[in-house]
Amino acid sequence: MRSIIVFYIVTIIISTFIGFLLVYFSGLTAHPKKRGEKKEVDLSTYTVEDSLEKSIFEEVKTILGPSQRSLELTKKISQVFKKELEEKINYTKEELSKKYETIVEEKTRNEEIAWKKYKEILSDKKETEAVIRSVAEGLVVLDAKGNVIMINPAAERLLGISSKEKVGKPLLEGIKEEQLISLVRGTEENKEIELISPNEETKKILRASSAVIEDENGKPIGMVSVLSDITKQKELDRLKSNFVSNVTHELRTPLVAMEKSISLLLTQDIPEPQQREFLAITQRNLKRLTLLINDLLDLSKLEAGKMQITRQPSSIVNIINEAILGLETWAKTKSLTINKIIEDDLPQINVDPNRILQVLNNLIGNAIKFTPSGGSITVEAHFIRENNEVEVSIQDTGIGISKEDLPKIFDKFFQVGERAYTDIGGTGIGLSIAKEIIQLHKGRIWAESEKGKGAKFIFCLPLE
Amino acid sequence: MEKASIKILIADDEVDFRNLLKFWLESKGYSILDASNGQEAIEITRRDNPDMIFMDLRMPVMDGIEAIKEIRKFNQEVPIIVISAYVEDPKVKEVLEYGISGEFYKGDDFQKSLVLLESVLKTHKRLKK
């Protein structure tokens, strides 16, 4: 653009100059004599004002010689030329500045549009990034070579790696040995990855669902994987399958005892006291079976969130006595003593007596189960004036609960390690039901224990 | 050998089952010792030297598997019949190498335990001779 303008100006200058020369030469041939007089000029006093005048003068001089006339002519030519030039320049300048303005305007407009679009894209990008960042599932994007393009914070956490270190590198490069991806199962699209760690607590099982990213021609250009932590789900699966086998065992044990007693009663000649004993065995196991079935029914209510309580003014002492009465024969078979420490004049509480009885059956039943022969169980009840609540505790001299297991005992299906493998059995739902019942009464339940030192279960119920 | 002088140890933490089996075998003339866990079973075996053991595998304090391992350290002779809670209980496999004379499934008729016991005792006696 600029070079064209310069060329344009130069062409104007040269053509104007030539034009003037031509005019001058035509004048020369018309009046040669009149203007031919030669006059000496003192050229030492002559000063050319600028290079333009100088070059015109040089030209004029070759034709007219170094005379005053030449000088004047030079001046004239120069003035006319300059004037003309100035006009042309001004005009060009104006034109140029107009053009420039239009260009600038257009450019500004384009820039504004571009900026607006850029901002839109930027905010879109930020939005997308925010979405990716806040997705709870881990997201990993790999290019066709398997190098990491992007890892979101959830994936960083799940894999225990940092995005900064990984971008541009293969995903598995440099993953610490303790996090070694040891097990990869499933199809290409759906993998289960087990992140092994020496610490059982931090061991993770991840499910990776992957999809190939293709460009518009269907050529694979990378892969996007969604990682979800399925450790808890797996644990729940395990607990549920344990639960099923425990329930089977829990159903069979009393059935075997009942079947055996009845068949002995029917087929053998049994002395009277033994007959009574066998009937007692049958009755006890029937009760055990009933409690189990009630628990199972409650479990389905619990899962559906449909467990309800019907409150009525009740005496906690009566409920405790009823629970102990029902479980006494069972305790006797293991030579366990049940002690009561119950405060006089306990106030009435507004609770569902059947549900509280269920909780007590559960807690005292557990105490009987987990206390070896000859031990003792102590049931206490107090009124806690400052909280306006009644506190009931059941303490045993049993095998106790380890520190690791203590926080989990109220979890559904959870069973303390060893117990699941013994005939003590249990389904692992009793305590979770007890907890639900107490919470429905707006009360609290917790346990205190040490392995080998017995266990104490405590619950508090507000008076209202 | 007089039946009454034959001592049989029943180790099972399920009191009702243990008492019923005890009653049944006593009614057939045997003398019964009982234990409610592996630890007790070891002590009684050491002290009373039973002629045969019925051992439940799942027990608290010490399970039957551990108890069998311990007993075999000082007594390779005594026949042991394992009591299993399930048909084809996978736990039974774990004790096979310690010399097991038979398996009695809890759901089976008591008559079966008697048949098993007598055949084991007979074989054992013959072996002893």
The Cα A90–Cα A107 span in angstroms is: 25
Asked if the Cβ–Cβ distance from B60 to A257 is below 8 Å, we say no
Asked if the Cβ–Cβ distance from A281 to B16 is below 8 Å, we say yes
pLDDT digits (tens, 9 = 90+) for A297-328: 888 888 888 888 999 999 999 999 999 998 88
Count: domains in chain A? 3
Which of A229, A258, A288 is the last residue before a domain boundary?
A229
Mutate to test the interface with B, among A264, A329, A423 (most CBs of B within 10 A): A423
pLDDT digits (tens, 9 = 90+) for A369-394: 888 889 999 999 999 999 999 999 99
Task: Judge whether A372 is closer than 8 Å to chain B, CB to CB.
Answer: yes
At a CB cut-off of 8 Å and minimum separation 6, what does B100 contact?
A: B68, B80, B81, B82, B92
> What per-residue confidence (pLDDT) applies to A210?
79
Residue B129 located in a structural domain: no
3-class SS of residue A249: helix
Q: Which domain holds residue A357?
A: 239-462
- In this structure, the answer to whether residues A160 and A80 fall within a common structural domain is no
Q: A423 pLDDT band (50/70/90 cuts)?
A: very low
- In this structure, the answer to whether residues A435 and A291 fall within a common structural domain is yes
Nearest CB to B59: which of A277, A399, A422? A422
Pick from A24-28, A345-349, A457-461, B87-91: least confident: A24-28
Residue % of chain A over a pLDDT of 90: 31
C-beta separation of A248 from B106 below 8 A: no
Q: Burial of A89 by CB count in 10 Å (0-12 exposed, 13-18 middle, 19+ buried)?
A: middle
Residue B127 located in a structural domain: no
Which of A210, A229, A248 is the last residue before a domain boundary?
A229
Please report, for the domain that includes residue B110, its CATH number: 3.40.50.2300
Q: B59 pLDDT band (50/70/90 cuts)?
A: confident
> What per-residue confidence (pLDDT) applies to A44?
52
- In this structure, the answer to whether residues A262 and A220 fall within a common structural domain is no
Residue A117 located in a structural domain: no
Asked if the Cβ–Cβ distance from A372 to B109 is below 8 Å, we say no
Residue A126 located in a structural domain: no
Q: A195 pLDDT band (50/70/90 cuts)?
A: low
> What per-residue confidence (pLDDT) applies to A231?
83
Residue B84 located in a structural domain: yes
The neighbouring-strand residues paired with A195 are: A181, A204
The Cα B83–Cα B104 span in angstroms is: 5
- In this structure, the answer to whether residues A213 and A262 fall within a common structural domain is no
pLDDT digits (tens, 9 = 90+) for B82-106: 998 777 777 888 888 888 898 998 8
Residue B88 located in a structural domain: yes
pLDDT: which is higher, A192 or B24: B24
CB atoms within 10 A of CB B14: 24
- In this structure, the answer to whether residues A295 and A346 fall within a common structural domain is yes
Task: State yes or no: pLDDT of B41 exceeds 80.
Answer: yes
Mutate to test the interface with A, among B12, B14, B16, B28 (most CBs of A within 10 A): B16
Which of A200, A229, A258 is the last residue before a domain boundary?
A229
Q: Taking CA atoms, what residue in B is nearest to A400?
A: B61
> What per-residue confidence (pLDDT) applies to A124?
93
Please report, for the domain that includes residue A334, its CATH number: 3.30.565.10
Nearest CB to A423: which of B21, B24, B58? B58
Task: Judge whether A281 is closer than 8 Å to chain B, CB to CB.
Answer: yes
> What per-residue confidence (pLDDT) applies to A181?
46
Residue A32 located in a structural domain: yes
Edge-to-edge, what's the strand order for the sheet holding A138-143?
Answer: A148-151, A138-143, A220-229, A204-214, A190-195, A181-185
Q: Which domain holds residue B102?
A: 3-121
Residue A115 located in a structural domain: no
Q: Taking CA atoms, what residue in B is nearest to A260?
A: B20
pLDDT digits (tens, 9 = 90+) for A283-301: 888 988 888 888 888 888 8
- In this structure, the answer to whether residues A309 and A443 fall within a common structural domain is yes
Q: What ipTM was reported for this prediction?
A: 0.86
Task: State yes or no: pLDDT of A186 exceeds 50.
Answer: no
C-beta separation of A320 from A327 below 8 A: no
Count: domains in chain B? 1
Q: What are phi and psi of A91, to 5 degrees?
A: -60, -50
pLDDT: which is higher, A181 or B91: B91
- In this structure, the answer to whether residues A45 and A66 fall within a common structural domain is yes
> What per-residue confidence (pLDDT) applies to A146?
78
Residue A38 located in a structural domain: yes
